[in-house]
Chain A
Amino acid sequence: MSTQSSRLAARMMVAPSVVLLLIWMIVPLAMTLYYSFRFYRLLSPDRTGWTGFTNYLWFFNSPDFWLALWNTLALVGGVLVITVTLGILIALLIDQPVKGQGLLRILVIAPFFVMPPVAASIWENLFMHPQNGLFAAVARGFGAQPILFLEQYPMLSVIGIVSWEWLPFATLILLTALQSLSSEQLEAAEMDGASAFSRFRYIILPHMTRAITVVILIQTIFLLGIFGEIFTTTQGGPGSASTTLPYMIFKQAIAAKDIGRAAAGGIIAVILANIVAYFLMRGLGRNLEN
């Protein structure tokens, strides 16, 4: 792209997709912004009008909102910690030469192909179910009372299920990073007297920082919007114990049929996502340079 005409041509070429993407983004955002300042309930369609910040204030005054905000961040943070930590360990493990390596790797990646509601149903009914679940059977085997996961630890259960779904993704990305590390570097470290732990700490982990950053950024985007797993298992309950921001918006839109409030919640979610993205990029962005 050196000459003026080729630069112009390049801009012309990408213009249609840029314009399309812009419209795709701007129109829904503008509509959400519009509705968030409107009084608009589907149950009383004849009463409409501007309400100022009433919809927003309802959120900020609702105790559920702050719980939902906390739950959202706990879900994102918890899943990130679990998937990155376990992902590194599993990647280190399946990087070792073993028989049936190909099959092993497919097995490790398999959970990623299971759709979120299906994964949640599997966990709810086959693992966590107080009568039929595997965990209940194990607990009874030890003579203990089965734990009521979804009632007693709803948020932790959701975090566990979502982690199970996203672990393969993290493992896969981290494994490819691990495989791109030159063996001579590890051998040099070995000659330099580094123990297995030191080699991990000083050679392998720094080598993987970029991949870890990518995993964190991509997962954060998807985890902020987690909905299906909660809908399938706890429905945001008991009470509002496992309600996240997206689920709260859903409740306003579909259960309460209040489009104005749901739109305001949507705008708050967009702002939250931008705050998270800002801090992530400030903290991790330099890992992506060069």
Chain B
Amino acid sequence: MGKIELTKVRKSFGDVDVIPGIDLTIENGEFVVFVGPSGCGKSTLLRLIAGLEDTTSGTIEIDGKDATNLPPAKRGLAMVFQSYALYPHMTVRKNIAFPLKMAGMDQAEQDRRVERAAKVLNLATYLDRRPGQLSGGQRQRVAIGRAIVREPAAFLFDEPLSNLDAALRVGMRQEISELHQSLKTTMIYVTHDQVEAMTMADKIVVLNAGRIEQVGAPLELYNHPRNLFVACFIGSPKMNVIEGAEAAKHNAHSIGIRPEHITVGDGPWEGVVGLSEHLGSDSFLKVAVEGIGTLTVRAPGEIHAHHGDRIRLAPAGKIHRFDAQGLAL
């Protein structure tokens, strides 16, 4: 079981309100991703749930029981840290067994659980090594192993992939997703990378300056962003925002159109290609359009458009409309 409910949770460090007040429900078995720019309070929120920080006010309930003032160990949660926080003087086996040892579990049961976790995470051959002798991905797996042996109510991940190289990150992303499929335990995952959020989450919580901007399934956020912040944060490359006369045509203060929703060829907008990035599968073009500004366009990989070329563009997809406050219309 792992239902977590936050009610009016507030956290301030001195005079600074890092989190002015958050209400959030995380259902049992959900994979929830907290995403937002750095300094938005997502890690603080995770640490509040973990119990590593005290809430200034508000309550945190885990499985219907008030856990606001419980010490971290009593909450039944396991955490994977950004730096992995492995114990360098212990072998992998002892690292993974540490929470079990602290719980006073007998040696046979400890060994059984460690072996099982090692098998799941492909660590069986590394059990007698020390963390210093492992690669980044292996350390990451040890940290996850240390979390899963406790069979916690929920897992908390604090930017666990940010120290890995790009290829390994994709692999670990899949492994964590698969782990969630097989364990079906609640997972809360903090990241600043919207690709990780989109690919892994059942539910994304977009945070900005300590406030929740929107909560929803990945595609819901992509298709129906509640405001300009979410619209710009979700999706890569970033959504184009157009203000002024062009927006007025749509009865809005500003309009947003995603790079993948613009086609090259015939169309109402004409501009000069500034930067063109040819990735093979796609080409990203920065096009300066008169009266509108610079638009990012996602074009097919084969397109022959280079710096200085004049091309015509047409919107070919949903146009998001926003009012003066940045809220979606």
Residues of A near any B CB (own CB < 8 A): 182, 184-185, 187-195, 198, 202-203, 206-207, 209, 290
Contacts and interface: CB of A to CB of B under 8 A. Distances in A.
A229 to B, nearest CB: 37
Given A184-B85, A202-B87, A203-B87, A191 B98 contact: no
B50 interface: yes
B297 interface: no
B81 A184 contact: yes
A49 to B, nearest CB: 59
B89 A191 contact: no
B250 to A, nearest CB: 49
Given A182-B85, A202-B87, A207-B89, A191 B79 contact: yes
B73 A193 contact: yes
A190 B99 CA distance: 9
B73 A187 contact: no
Nearest to A188: B85
> Which of B71, B82, B102: most chain A CB closer than 10 A?
B102
A184 to B, nearest CB: 4
A206 B102 contact: no
Interface string B124-168: 000000001000000000000010001000000000000000000
B78 A184 contact: no
B245 interface: no
B85 A187 contact: yes
A71 B99 CA distance: 46
Nearest to A198: B102
Contacts of B294: none
A207 B85 CA distance: 13
B91 interface: no
B273 interface: no
B103 interface: yes
Given A202-B98, A206-B89, A191 B72 contact: yes
Query: What are the nearest 9 A-B pairs in CB distance?
Result: A188-B85, A192-B99, A193-B73, A184-B85, A193-B102, A206-B89, A184-B81, A194-B102, A191-B79
B83 interface: yes
23 contacts: A182-B83, A184-B82, A184-B85, A185-B85, A187-B72, A187-B81, A188-B79, A189-B87, A190-B52, A191-B52, A191-B73, A191-B78, A193-B150, A194-B73, A194-B98, A195-B102, A198-B102, A202-B87, A202-B98, A203-B87, A206-B89, A207-B88, A207-B89
